[in-house]
Amino acid sequence: MSLLVPSLSAMSALSLAALPGAYAVSLHSYLYLSAVLFAIGFLGVLLRKNTLVIYMCLELMLVASTVALVAFSRFNGVLHGNVFVFFILTVAAAEVAVGLAIIVALFRRRQTVQVEELNALKN
């Protein structure tokens, strides 16, 4: 029971959360999970060079934020967060369609989707 100490990093908090039966799942757990998912998505956006994979990581960040919204909404006993996630899903679908169309147009013009080769605005 005393495993729930204020940990210094979210990663160690997650490894605490990964121990089954260590403590009751509360809003913290969902928020840690959301933050870690967001961080992983952010890491992907920073590390990867392929535009499509960067785009997938952006979607991952969006989904991480929806986890936090649904958790807040559920733990406060209201519906507003869920409705907001509803709108986020709609906008994300539209965004993916437009973004992928842009990537296809880019590939048609430049024959590449690697970000280090897309430097037409450099200098």
> Could you give the CA distance from residue 68 to residue 30 in angstroms, rounded to a whole number?
7
Long-range CB contact pairs, 71-80, < 8 A, 24+: 71/27, 71/30, 71/31, 71/34, 72/27, 75/26, 75/27, 75/30
In this complex, which beta carbon is closest to other proteins, that of residue 46 or of residue 121?
Answer: 46
Smallest gap from residue 121 Cβ to other proteins (A): 16
| 68 makes contact with other proteins (CB under 8 A) | no
Among positions 1, 7, 65, 120, the unique one binding other proteins when judged by CB under 8 A: 7
| 21 makes contact with other proteins (CB under 8 A) | yes
> Could you give the CA distance from residue 95 to residue 93 in angstroms, rounded to a whole number?
5
Burial of 31 (0-12, 13-18, 19+ CB in 10 A): middle
Q: Within positions 37 to 66, which residues make up the interface with other proteins, using CB under 8 A?
A: 37, 39-44, 46-50, 52-53, 55-57, 59-60, 63, 66
Count of residues touching other proteins (by CB under 8 A): 83
Smallest gap from residue 2 Cβ to other proteins (A): 14
| 90 makes contact with other proteins (CB under 8 A) | yes
Smallest gap from residue 69 Cβ to other proteins (A): 10
Among positions 1, 2, 3, 80, the unique one binding other proteins when judged by CB under 8 A: 80
> Could you give the CA distance from residue 13 to residue 33 in angstroms, rounded to a whole number?
9
